[in-house]
Structure 1
């Protein structure tokens, strides 16, 4: 007589879900919703790359998940031309490119999008703040009443534009491509499809239109279902999660392993057919321990790591001889992943023990998947197979692991997650500095420093006006974020000839990500820890943090690069900028800009209104520094002899017994003579010495001290401010 296999529900879906549900031989639901063993579905590494292939499988998103999506529509690159120059400055034409495109995210409706990454870099934060200019952005959630996108309709025509109802997709309009090599970047999106976590049975029920049911099992933070069948869509989950399915009258359902066990009648066990040999009441079989995993690891998508692959492990002892690995292509937190892998390993070891039982015909109502208690054996057992022959029901049951408490808390470990910091508004600082190198400047140059009030600030677009805002020209983007702050104490006067160890100044920086560091190289380098405080350039050897964003600077070198004229003019609130060439945008200006007001406007993604700064541009890098060591001597014949030491904008080192390079076309000096109540007199000489004749002194008129002001006349402009000597007698 043939054996009738009523149901054979797979091991524990601790093996593939194909073993758990594919073995429902001949069952209608299996034929309807499962394809043969070749079914394909999502794997743990399948969500990383955005695609645009025709006919590509579209995922159906559940929970909150990071998805790459597929480009379903795009325009050609749009080229924009920007021209600058004129008024003595060479004309320059620059080009920028943008693109508009649509990316489908899910083949079922979603609620919203949180973070977005472009080429792996954060493009939008959890607060839905953009990290760079993206033009316009729209999300179509995939609802039944979804309207067509206006941009696509304008490009393709209303009649040729589908509404894509049932598909969730995002549209970027004029995304700037300069940061991505003038191509559409690879995008990925943190998509919230359903409220809260979701279970495997909920996913299967939705995908099968309620032909799969049940409750319980581990909750998943998110899942992207894809594949060529229902089996393909959820097989990756079923092969990883510690659950089992069984066939019932109303379809496939998740076995409730917490149900009260059915007590089997010991007196009826060991049933056998008439005329057959008696059989044992319980036949116990155990799988060899050496074939089991003593350690098991699980890979999963970890939201704490920006949905990168995380790993947790469980082991039975510290010296595992056999180790296995499972992949869970879903988003779960570290503790949930730890609970899953612990349960899987416990299930594997408990399930090594199976029992075969023989019962009379009247117990045919014991279904596959039922939870039973086996007489004489500990624990709970699940029915995995039922066979009926010669009026005898044979059950194969498998031991279940004992219930355990929550797994200990687990850590995601350190990953490559990017800080999600708001961009915040822009702060601008315009600098007109002496030459920062050893070579003299050849053109007037404005330096622009920019940073943000918040640590997430990265960049802003700049425009410049030389006519008090009547017209503006684009000058590109800012350089790297500068270190900007302000003085909260007054830096008092000191000497520029020796290191100032008597004074210090406290600087409050703009945001928490900024810091200043000490250096013992300030006496060896003219650029180490160089900073502009007010109008004075200083160097600091010591930077001590004394509070949040607050640093005390000491060991000062004062009046650097000819700025000794500003030593005595400090006040609370003085602007502080660390002079780092990599954090300064250098923009050339025409000679006609000297002495005029220059305005710069910055517009970043965190600016509700553009930030502006202005200064009167003096082209200090084009001016020789003022002479030093002025000495005036009253001569017996009534004249005054004046001498000084020339300095150069070609290098800032003092050279023994050697004149510094001239760095100008000719050597010339302008001497201004003045006396209270008198008439100023202007002289010009070609060497760093002059004799003021008695006649010139008499021509001044007035009475009181004689003031002698000396400026070197450079190729482009004179020293500013000039050097001054006052003589109270003998002149």
Structure 2
């Protein structure tokens, strides 16, 4: 007796029939193609978590898929020390940065390309091929002629360095680790192994070699075949995506459709004692839910789940983890088909036919007289009297699949870094405490994918440069495309507004309540004026109109007039400004900074005169002169404090300086005739002084408050008509 039977392995692949491998000719072929014992294939978590464990099997990739890969070589972290600061800028410090060089295996068969790369879930390489962090990168496609990597060869020695032929892998050289907590991040790669989606049959044929032929079955966007046998590599895949199988006596031929069933005549059913015997598996042992876990390309290959249910509480479920890329609708259709197949194939039969039906073999389909359904051959036994067929009821189609919802994508933003934009600002004090040393502030940004740039400082016109570290977080920057009109710093400016073009469409502005404005919200530098805005309306992809303004904030009222198109706009936000401390000796000199980011071909330079507004007290306000009697003219003013901008009922603003001191200059006819240093915000100008100064009519006064580092700037200036006051 000879037996041809769909083996246990074949029956597990796509149900009892119709599997991706299906029936094989004898057990020798089964062992040669599928392997002997049961094997486990790739699970979804295998593709998401980067590993470096020795002996982990590498997947064979098909189509396009996102995989984590396996670290197969790495150096120790490389530490770079750099002195920052020094010279006129102050004391030196040592900054440390770290990088790593390593290789990651991606596929145990050749690939075509690597597209996007994620590091700790953030894009390291975008769809346009642009890099978000600094690194050297080389990709080896897995050809049998690929050479050893030069870096690995230099470290390990040429004789000890394998070329990893047949394995696709990537080498990172000096990947900057600042964005990843100074450690090698967990990487995932969008790998294109084949030029188009692949079918289940193509996967099986590629893995089985001479044992399987054909291209039939479900088309997959991508698949990762893993395991130490062909069976382990495709078992889960074939369980969800069956194809028709025909055994031609040498190999298994896979086809997308099984073709028309072979009709069996009534007269052929009389062979032997039993014409046909039908059995049915109890419903209690069948699943009432099939769930397919998969990867969704529309959601950056995040894991998805689609279910098919017969109704009820779904107490008996079948879970299929499919290490494949599928659209949500395709996954739902496969789940529905799997559930229908499980219930249809519960019915089996045994049929005895004459010898002239010897050509009927496993995988072929039959129609029987008096039966409206279709049967598939699961096994064939030949004895002296007849051909005995083991049959199973075949699925003839699946009802319309309900709509599938993939869920919202939570993909990492993919913005191009672009060129670095620098705004070097001489700001008044923007923090609660008074600054003790002069400083400038650097705001930087670029394109939507810009992250940071390395910054250097020059105080000698660019003759020499010293490193001062890296920029802060990207700032919200732009330029004015309309000119802001003059407004009153003492009132809300509701008459004027200004339009701003921000650096890219990902930047945004928001309005703020009056109470929030009083608390300091929405501060921005526009040209040399510090403003606040309560209204922000988007009028274009990058353009915003801001209004309901507070003007001349923190002593910047001198810049209220004179705005123009092209004024720089910088939103003042915590964490988005890099302070650059400088020495008092640098006040009044030109300060230059240069920065270079990953999107810059050349360093970008910005410059500003150090006016030291951070350490200067605000200029006094409210000049006045009164007749004190006895022919004494009291000239007075009101001081302000760089630490006392909040309104305090019943108390004066804090001094904010080491001591209260002023410099008063009196000019007659344009010439300074008297200079007075005083510790009080007033001066009694008596008749003797006036006579000596020739001050009988109008005088001009200039008042500066003294600061610990520098006096107020700009000074208070006023004209006083003595005759009108004392006449």
CA apart distance, 1:86: 2.5
Q: Deviations over 1:21-43 (max 9, x none)?
A: 68758432212233233323312
Counterpart Cα distance in 2 of 1:300 and 1:93: 49
Equivalent in the alignment of 2:4: 6
CA apart distance, 1:289: 3.4
CA apart distance, 1:383: 0.9
Counterpart Cα distance in 2 of 1:675 and 1:397: 119
Counterpart Cα distance in 2 of 1:708 and 1:482: 41
1:82-161 alignment runs, 5 A limit: 82-87=82-87, 89-134=90-135, 136-161=136-161
**More divergent stretch after superposition (569-578 vs 107-116):** 569-578
Equivalent in the alignment of 2:528: 535
Counterpart Cα distance in 1 of 2:698 and 2:540: 49
Equivalent in the alignment of 1:286: 280
Is residue 595–residue 618 contact of structure 1 (8 Å, CA) maintained in 2?
A: yes
Equivalent in the alignment of 2:66: 66
Counterpart Cα distance in 1 of 2:504 and 2:158: 49
Kindly tell me: are residues 218 and 627 of structure 1, through their superposed partners in 2, closer, same or farther at Cα, counting changes over 3 Å?
same
**More divergent stretch after superposition (376-385 vs 576-585):** 376-385
Counterpart Cα distance in 2 of 1:699 and 1:147: 94
1:230-379 alignment runs, 5 A limit: 230-243=230-243, 245=245, 247-254=247-254, 257-272=257-272, 278-280=273-275, 282-317=276-311, 320=314, 322-379=316-373
Q: Report SS of the residue matched to 1:489.
A: coil
Q: Deviations over 1:541-581 (max 9, x none)?
A: 22233333333322222211111111112122222211112
Counterpart Cα distance in 1 of 2:219 and 2:677: 88
Is residue 14–residue 348 contact of structure 1 (8 Å, CA) maintained in 2?
A: no
Q: Deviations over 1:691-710 (max 9, x none)?
A: 34567667778999633121
Equivalent in the alignment of 1:467: 460
CA apart distance, 1:221: 1.5
The alignment's TM-score, normalised by the length of structure 1, stands at 0.92
Counterpart Cα distance in 2 of 1:19 and 1:192: 26
1:437 aligned onto 2:435: no
Equivalent in the alignment of 1:512: 505
Kindly tell me: are residues 77 and 12 of structure 1, through their superposed partners in 2, closer, same or farther at Cα, counting changes over 3 Å?
closer
Runs (5+) with no aligned partner, structure 2 = none
- The structure 2 residue matched to 1:595, chosen from 588, 599, 603, is 588
Kindly tell me: are residues 662 and 256 of structure 1, through their superposed partners in 2, closer, same or farther at Cα, counting changes over 3 Å?
closer
The alignment's TM-score, normalised by the length of structure 2, stands at 0.92
CA apart distance, 1:589: 1.7
1:47 aligned onto 2:47: yes
Counterpart Cα distance in 1 of 2:214 and 2:697: 105
Kindly tell me: are residues 585 and 329 of structure 1, through their superposed partners in 2, closer, same or farther at Cα, counting changes over 3 Å?
same
Q: Deviations over 1:349-408 (max 9, x none)?
A: 322233332211121111111122222222432211212234111212222222358846
* Number of residue pairs aligned between Structure 1 and Structure 2: 721
CA apart distance, 1:714: 0.5
Kindly tell me: are residues 523 and 675 of structure 1, through their superposed partners in 2, closer, same or farther at Cα, counting changes over 3 Å?
farther
- The structure 2 residue matched to 1:478, chosen from 467, 471, 481, is 471
CA apart distance, 1:721: 0.8
- The structure 1 residue matched to 2:449, chosen from 456, 473, 489, is 456
Is residue 17–residue 235 contact of structure 1 (8 Å, CA) maintained in 2?
A: no
Is residue 12–residue 239 contact of structure 2 (8 Å, CA) maintained in 1?
A: no
Equivalent in the alignment of 1:275: none
Is residue 703–residue 717 contact of structure 2 (8 Å, CA) maintained in 1?
A: yes
Q: Deviations over 1:45-78 (max 9, x none)?
A: 2112222223321222211122222222222222
Counterpart Cα distance in 1 of 2:166 and 2:667: 86
Counterpart Cα distance in 2 of 1:425 and 1:703: 62
Q: Deviations over 1:67-119 (max 9, x none)?
A: 22222222222221110232352221121121212222122211111111122
Counterpart Cα distance in 2 of 1:429 and 1:662: 31
Is residue 201–residue 243 contact of structure 2 (8 Å, CA) maintained in 1?
A: no
1:178 aligned onto 2:178: yes
1:552-631 alignment runs, 5 A limit: 552-631=545-624
Q: Report SS of the residue matched to 1:154.
A: helix
**More divergent stretch after superposition (513-522 vs 21-30):** 21-30
Counterpart Cα distance in 2 of 1:266 and 1:16: 26
- The structure 2 residue matched to 1:487, chosen from 455, 480, 491, is 480
Note the aligned Cα RMSD (angstroms).
2.8
Q: Deviations over 1:591-623 (max 9, x none)?
A: 222111111222222223332211111111100
Counterpart Cα distance in 2 of 1:86 and 1:500: 44
Is residue 177–residue 183 contact of structure 1 (8 Å, CA) maintained in 2?
A: yes
